[in-house]
Structure 1
């Protein structure tokens, strides 16, 4: 099963790829090895294999108030990614997976990029006639203003060699040029069920989508966490967080909202069942239960 209902919103999970991505110590430099060992049984095999962290690249498709909303767009095909060999010039069937969820590119009304790292914007565009063009021709792309300004190479010296090298040029600039981008900052109402809220730290403009519909709650959490271990190890970030202190603050605040409101947490990168309910555990959090999505 890859669909669930939250209030009046139908939520579908669409995979791009999943599997091992980085060694634990490289991905999370400050998490001690003993912490991984304490939770190895719970993390294996969906989130940990040997010393390798396992993750997923996936999108969340929401059908809300008659519109199709796509949250995050993965790595993308054919993109030049010199800093990440495993993501360089991919050729994956993401659009086929989207079609199997009942969605054609022209059906998408809104694309939400929770932030502008390369693995959240890749399918914003695809190559047509030798040019990068918007994949979703009828969509409004909601992008955080702060990230658009920050990741623009004109404003961000040193992107050569950075993990985000080329990403703005091939996955953001063409959508801006097409006039399909709506910038937001602080908060933004998508519809009566969904709103964007700022979650800075991982990137300066990072955000999340909060779902409030009937008695159900959901938190489309972007990169607040990359592994369930961060529920217990709240103060530890991935190596990709631009402002570690702000990332911890956002994680604590928003996961607290999810725990207190019994919200389903749907991060961008959890493999296995992909989404979970959490509860407070001392001054941190723990897994309360997993969503009924099929395991990746």
Structure 2
């Protein structure tokens, strides 16, 4: 499948999705283990269109958002990376994907990237922070400042994170985060969030992971919000109570999701998801029964 290079304009910023890979036939029963089948498939056409043919599995995307402002070139989340040892997560084990070539196809050369933002430090959001060179993990974007949620770094560098829900991300801190910190290229966002580069705001949305952040971009009266893994599919717009199998802190995840949906509707913001299929971008509206989703 060809990469998705659709762009969006928000104030002075241009935002482009560059896809690393598409995940096909992800079972609904796996992704949302607490949901009954009727919650996912149902009779609502608005939900069915996000499912694979047959109605019992999802198509998901893994990608990076490229943000160009008049001053800077920024990447938000970096996919799963190449050559990573993920024996307990076969989907992302020892990959060889031409992702850097895809970035170059939209004019993004690694040495020209100014900043890399990670919403959180899971396997499919941090992998291209580093690349393998002569047996060592080195920064993939050598002139960039990498911006990490501090609480994520503290948690994933400790034994506290060595639990069953984090098995898919074992090794990520060691090969995709620690080398950045050791190279002196890391900046840290406090758990309370805050502003960065004037037009960005890190918004605490914990639950999916311990220090998960969503990121708002506000420019000339327009707003875009990069949601990280606060939602994996548009189904959660309609059912914000549904958590994924990857949400470590379930009650916090649901609460963060509901707050974000209200913020998106209140600000009429462009929502830029990390795993929604197709364009991965759209708007959340209010309807009598809750919220609605419209792709852009």
Aligned mates of 2:142, 2:226 — CA distance in 1: 24
2:22 pairs with one of 8, 15, 18: 18
Aligned mates of 1:75, 1:39 — CA distance in 2: 34
1:111 aligns with 2:116: yes
1:59 pairs with one of 64, 81, 85: 64
Q: Using structure 2 for the length normalisation, give the TM-score.
A: 0.93
* Deviation string, structure 1 residues 71-115 (Cα, Å, up to 9, x no partner): 000000011112221211110011111111110111111100000
Aligned mates of 1:283, 1:211 — CA distance in 2: 28
Aligned mates of 1:167, 1:42 — CA distance in 2: 35
Matches within 5 A, 1:97-136: 97-136=102-141
2:273 pairs with one of 261, 267, 270: 267
Larger RCO, structures 1/2 (Cα 8 Å, 6+ apart)? 1
**Residue 180 (structure 2) aligns with:** 175
Aligned mates of 2:23, 2:123 — CA distance in 1: 18
**Residue 193 (structure 2) aligns with:** 187
SS state at 1:48 partner: coil
2:110–2:141: 8 Å Cα contact kept in structure 1? yes
Which consecutive unaligned segments of at least 5 residues does structure 1 have?
Answer: 292-296
**Residue 234 (structure 1) aligns with:** 240
2:209–2:248: 8 Å Cα contact kept in structure 1? yes
Matches within 5 A, 1:140-289: 140-158=145-163, 162-185=167-190, 186-282=192-288, 284-287=290-293, 289=294
* Deviation string, structure 1 residues 234-267 (Cα, Å, up to 9, x no partner): 1110011111111111111111111111101101
1:78–1:90: 8 Å Cα contact kept in structure 2? yes
C-alpha RMSD of matched pairs (Å): 1.8
**Residue 294 (structure 1) aligns with:** none
* Deviation string, structure 1 residues 159-210 (Cα, Å, up to 9, x no partner): 7981111111111111111111111111232223221111111111100111
Which consecutive unaligned segments of at least 5 residues does structure 2 have?
Answer: none
Q: Using structure 1 for the length normalisation, give the TM-score.
A: 0.93
1:39–1:229: 8 Å Cα contact kept in structure 2? no
Cα offset, 1:211, TM superposition: 1.5
1:37 aligns with 2:48: no
Cα offset, 1:32, TM superposition: 1.6
